[in-house]
Amino acid sequence: MASRDCESEPDSNPDHRRSIRSTEEDEEEERPAKHRRSDGGDGRGRPEGEMKQRYLVAVEYVGTRFSGSQQQPNCRTVVGVLQEAFHKFVGKPVSIFCSSRTDAGVHALSNVCHVDVERISKRKPDEVLPPHEAGVVKRAVNHFLQKNEGDIMLIDVRCVPPDFHARFKAQERIYFYRLLCGPEPLSTFEKERAWHIPEELDIFSMEQACNRLVGCHDFSSFRAAGCQANSPIRTLDELSVLEATPSPNFPCILGKDMVNTFKEQPLECSTSSEMESSTNSASGMHSNNGVSIAKCSELFGQRRSHRCYIVTARARSFLYHQVRLLVGVLKAVGTGELKISDVERILNAKTVTAASPMAPACGLYLGNVKYDFS
């Protein structure tokens, strides 16, 4: 069972259950309750002197083996793994609240959560100690996370006031989508890390399509049927596509002399016909550009890289599956399946049935969630 992929979908935790709204409406109409001293739900007040520290936690993870970010029964989720690690650290259950939901298979370079932690003395269980420093929390929780598959890690921890909410205080969210283009199968290292497109992409046309989508629009055509946000109106602050270096990127295996030769005289001997057309010389066979065929053979066993393109989407909040639907349309423009004029037609149709097939989850990365700490 996959969780729902939307950055703007509300928390499903019973403590935060409410009518479904967009992120903007939630922030304006129903802010989370102020921090109260309670024991976690049994109705009894806390003794004087007990206190909790709220921590803002930035976490990175590879989403391949997670059934999404939100906790679900009998599923491995980001929140579930984090809560287990914090439980082992502090010795009691905690609740984790995420700024952004991610679906099964979606990755995060930095998702942000908040958690309330009470530091209890292990020697004297009735004694409450001063809160841990943020660095201590980071090191301790990562110690337990690394024992759990090793595909999730805290990258930053910060002490925040008790009313600071990871979701409602978010000012901006940035998503990246990776596309790898080329006829060869993806490298083992890239499996489940990008969307493989066998065809070449027309980046210029894709950039023009991006320009038609930036701004405040009714994005009904770019939200999944299950989206429960009241309003489809969103302001897309940025939508862009650029070429990037494929990952993983290693130094050239060939020697420096060979690299310099390639720079001066680009090697073009990828086919047997090109090699056969090379001319003989006193020193041996050479290709038409003067590079030795023997040197060409040194390329054996080295995979040719795919071209890598990154789509960046930036906004305060997104609709359910909005980014993946946007990428699906951009890809169709890049391959020539759609014209640039079709983008406006799809946008104006205000129905998801007009859009191209949605991009797969594996290429989507939650890049960053921004806050104003002033």
Q: For residue 178, what pLDDT is reported?
A: 98
219 and 134 belong to one structural domain: no
The pLDDT assigned to 297 comes to 54
Same domain, 200 and 140: no
Domain assignment of residue 92, yes or no = yes
Are 66 and 94 part of one and the same domain? yes
Domain of residue 19, residue span: 14-160
- Boundary residue ending a domain (132, 160, 188): 160
Decide if 116 is catalytic. Answer: no
Residue with tokens 């269980």: 125
- Written as one string, the DSSP assignment of 24-36 is HHHHHH-PPPPP-
Last residue of one domain, picked from the residues 107, 130, 160: 160
- Whether residues 203 and 325 fall in one domain: yes
> Rounded distance, CA 362 to CA 102, Å?
11
pLDDT of residue 256: 53
| 268/213 same-domain check | no
Q: Does residue 45 belong to any structural domain of this protein?
A: yes
Q: How far apart are CA 218 and CA 220, in angstroms?
A: 6
Looking at the structure, tell me whether residues 183 and 238 fall in a common domain.
yes
**Three-state SS for 272?**
helix
Q: Across the 374 residues of the chain, what is the mean pLDDT of every consecutive 10-residue run?
A: 44 40 35 40 40 95 96 95 96 95 97 95 85 97 93 98 96 98 92 96 98 98 90 97 85 55 48 44 46 56 86 97 98 98 97 96 98 93
- d(CA 40, CA 12) in angstroms, rounded, equals 17
DSSP string, 70-91: S--TTS--HHHHHHHHHHHHHS
| Beta carbons of 313 and 236 less than 8 angstroms apart | yes
Query: Is residue 273 a contact partner of residue 322, using CB atoms and an 8 Å limit?
Result: no
| φ/ψ of residue 186, rounded to 5 | -65, 150
Maximal CA-CA distance, the chain:
94
Rounded CA separation 311/103 (Å): 18
Q: How far apart are CA 88 and CA 8, in angstroms?
A: 30
3-state class of 284 per DSSP? strand
- Check which CATH number belongs to the domain holding 326 and give it: 3.30.70.660
Statement: the pTM of the whole predicted model exceeds 0.75:
yes
Give the pairing of strands 233-244 and 215-218.
antiparallel
Amino acid at 5: D
Same domain membership, residue 99 and residue 154: yes
Provide the domain count of the chain. Answer: 3
- Looking at the fold, whether 148 and 217 belong to one and the same domain comes out as no
Q: Based on the fold, state whether residues 268 and 230 are members of the same structural domain.
A: no
Q: Which of 5, 11, 26, 103 is catalytic?
A: 103
Q: Which of 311, 343, 62, 312 is nearest to 197 (CA)?
A: 311
What gap in Å lies between CA 42 and CA 15, rounded to an integer? 13
Whether 211 and 128 share a structural domain? no
Alpha-helical runs (H) found in 66-202: 78-90, 134-145
Is residue 139 one of the residues assigned to a domain?
A: yes
Same structural domain, 66 and 186: no
Residue 93 domain-assigned (yes or no)? yes
Q: To 10 degrees, the CA torsion angle through 248, 67, 103, 90?
A: -90
Query: 134: domain CATH number?
Result: 3.30.70.580
Distance CA 181, CA 201 (A): 7
Position of tokens 């950039």? 207
Taking a C-beta distance cutoff of 8 angstroms, is the pair 323, 313 a contact? yes
**Is 127 part of a structural domain of the chain?**
yes
Domain edge (last residue) among 160, 188, 210: 160
| 104 within a domain of the structure (yes/no) | yes
Q: Does residue 38 fall inside a structural domain?
A: yes
How many helices (H) and strands (E) are present in the chain, helices listed first?
9, 12
pLDDT reported for residue 253: 56
Pair (149, 182) in one structural domain: no
Q: How far apart are CA 156 and CA 99, in angstroms?
A: 14
The residue count of the chain comes to 374
Any domain includes 222? yes
